[in-house]
Amino acid sequence: MKGFFEAGLGIILAVALYTLLGKISASLLFLFNPFSCVVLYFSLMKHDIFGAAMGTVCGLLQDSLSLGLFGVAGLTKTLLGFSTGFISRKINVAPVTRNFVFLLIVSTIELALWKLLALFLFRERFALGGGLVLFQPLTTAFIVALLFQIVRKKRGESS
Amino acid sequence: MPFSLKERRKFALFAGLIFFHLILISLQVPKGNEPTYFKKAFFAVFSPVQHGVVSFFQGVNRLWNNYFYFRQVQRQNQGMRDEIFLLRQENQTLKNTLLKFKGEKEIQELLSTISRSILVCSVIGYDSSDIHKSIVLNRGSRDGVKRDMVVLDRRGRLVGRVIDPVTLKQARVQLVTDKESGVGVLSERQRVVGILTGYAEGKCLMKYVYRTNKEIGEGEEVSTSGFEGIYPSGIPVGKIITITEDATLFKKIVVEPYLDFSELDEVAVFTIDLRELS
């Protein structure tokens, strides 16, 4: 029950952060994807199925805030959530550097897959936001890795 | 390495989720741009969160401005007085010009109709796939917002039009920079007609101008023509930045729209059909 509450809170925080970033500067939305951060965080913490479910909800939510086809971000984020959770169960990705590199790889693949699907379905050029979108996996990986390490440390101290 | 029953179940569930998304995507193909009920439901549930966040930060901002920035008020006040003075001059000049064509009573009625039909809205969200596609406003059907209403920025330049979904308190606006949008435009100097659509990185393309047309030039302003039956004529849209030619029948005309995201915190929605006024 606590897990579902945390997930709901995470989703609402992602929407709030997404709105806030847009209000500060619309270009920040190219640089940072709060929905991917939520999916990656819960995939690392609660693994594959929970990650896939979070990917579905966050992806569909992201799709509902867009004019594009409903389900494209849902599909890629479901893949992201499941694969991150599955791999993190098989390989130890807890150490700081390994954690960051792993998150960087999966978020890069997710972004590439999302853009490729959009290209395939809409036949349109990538919106690069002046190159800012290329930094999106880096910022996403950095923020999730930082959050993951902080939570791990806190849990380690309390236990 | 064989997978356990538990893992097989997980893969089955994952495959089910992927299948669900594929079905969801393929169901939309015959519908084109029409949003599904599922999409509308997601929008209706989560757009109030955006509304709440924006209202909260606007409240904090107002509090900050009210209590901590009193020193700036006098300067702001003077700036606004100067602006009002200039706007009054402009307004009077326009009224005098209009008087040549219409009676004073008719003009007063026209101006009062226009001012009553302007709905000032805050932008509470941007499109998650590409910010140049759409925005979300903090007003909806409860405030009289309907599909196809024209949206202008604070300087009266074209932003886009209201599209579905329109909920009670929120509405989505398709921007002129969206690739799926189409606005009938004409060049200001040479009156060359074309269709404006989104291109890339916030730029637009003015389509269907023949290669043989030698009149249109770079730097020329484009405004709405009103031919597509949605936008009234004469609204400024942008400026032509490049004109190139290739093997096709038409010129490739790139337009830099006036739409500026740094000034897009507030927009005006016209709740009446502006074409009826012209």
Residue B23: closest C-alpha in chain A:
A71
Domains, chain A: 2-155 (1.10.1760)
Contact A38, A9 (CB under 8 A): no
**Can you say whether the dihedral through the CA atoms of B165, B166, B171, B174 is positive or negative?**
positive
Set of chain B residues whose Cβ sits within 8 Å of the Cβ of A74: 21, 24
Whole-angstrom Cα distance, residue A40 to residue A19? 20
HSE (side-chain half, CA atoms, 13 Å) at A148: 27
Q: Does the pLDDT at position B61 exceed 80?
A: no
Q: Inform me whether the C-beta atom of residue A50 falls under 8 Å from chain B C-beta atoms.
A: no
Backbone angles phi, psi at B212, to 5 degrees: -75, -15
Q: Which of residues 56-75 of A touch B (CB under 8 A)?
A: 56, 59-75
Host H or E run for residue B236: strand B236-245
Residues of B within 8 A of A78 (CB-CB) are 14, 17-18, 21
Which contacts of A93-98 are long-range, i.e. CB under 8 A and separated by 24 or more positions? A93/A44, A94/A152, A96/A145, A96/A149
How confident is residue B70, by pLDDT bands cut at 50, 70 and 90? Answer: low
Cβ <8 Å between B21 and A74: yes
Question: Does the beta-carbon distance from A64 to B17 stay under 8 Å?
Answer: no
Q: How far is B184 from chain A (nearest CA, A)?
A: 21
d(CA A117, CA A108) in angstroms, rounded, equals 14
Token pair, residue B161, equals: 């039009």
For residues B222-257, b (16+ Cβ closer than 10 Å) or e, as one string?
bbbbbeeebbbeebbbbbbeebeeeeeebbbbbbeb
- Residue B175 — very low, low, confident or very high, per pLDDT cuts 50/70/90? very high
Closest CA to A129 of A29, A18, A20, A22: A29
pLDDT at B195: 94
The string of pLDDT tens digits covering residues B181-232 is: 899 999 888 888 999 999 877 899 999 998 888 888 888 999 998 888 888 8
Spell out which residues of chain A touch residue B38, defining contact as CB-CB under 8 Å.
60, 70
Instruction: Give the number of other CB atoms < 10 A from CB of residue A108.
Output: 16
Element housing B207 (H / E): strand B204-207
> What pLDDT is stored for residue B8 in this prediction?
84
pLDDT recorded at residue A42: 93
pLDDT at A43: 93
What DSSP string runs through B141-204?
A: GGGT--TT-EEE-TTS-EEEEEEEEE-SS-EEEEETTSTT--EEEEETTT--EEEEEE-STT-E
Average confidence (pLDDT) over B119-148: 88
Instruction: Select the more confidently predicted residue: B184 or A27.
Output: B184
> Is a pLDDT exceeding 80 seen at residue B103?
no
- DSSP state at residue B248: S
Position B29 confidence tier, pLDDT thresholds 50, 70, 90? low
Model ipTM value: 0.80
Looking at residue B115, what is its pLDDT?
75
Bridge-based pairing of strands B193-198 and B204-207 is antiparallel
Q: Is the pLDDT at B35 greater than 80, yes or no?
A: no
8 A C-beta contact, residue A149 and residue A96: yes
Whether A155 has a pLDDT exceeding 60, the answer reads yes
Q: Please give the distance of CA A24 from its chain centroid, rounded to a whole number.
A: 21
Tokens of A125: 């050029």
Instruction: Give pTM, 2 decimals.
Output: 0.80
Q: What is d(CA A157, CA B128) in angstroms, rounded to the nearest whole number?
A: 38
What would the pLDDT profile of A34-45 be if each residue is shown by its tens digit?
999 999 999 999
pLDDT in tens, A81-90: 999 999 998 8
Contact A23 B13 (CB under 8 A): no
CB pairs under 8 A between A and B: 136
Tallying the residues shown for chain A, one arrives at 159
Output the pLDDT for position B156. 84
Which tens digits make up the pLDDT trace of A101-154?
999 999 999 999 888 887 777 666 666 767 788 899 999 999 999 999 998 888
**Per-residue pLDDT tens for B237-268?**
999 999 988 888 898 999 999 988 888 888 88
CB nearest A78 (choices: B21, B124, B163) = B21
Question: Does residue A40 sit at the B interface (CB-CB below 8 Å)?
Answer: no
Q: Nearest residue on chain A to B53, judged by CA atoms?
A: A16
- A8-20 mean pLDDT: 89
**3-class DSSP assignment, residue A126:** coil
Please report the pLDDT score of residue B34 as a whole number: 67
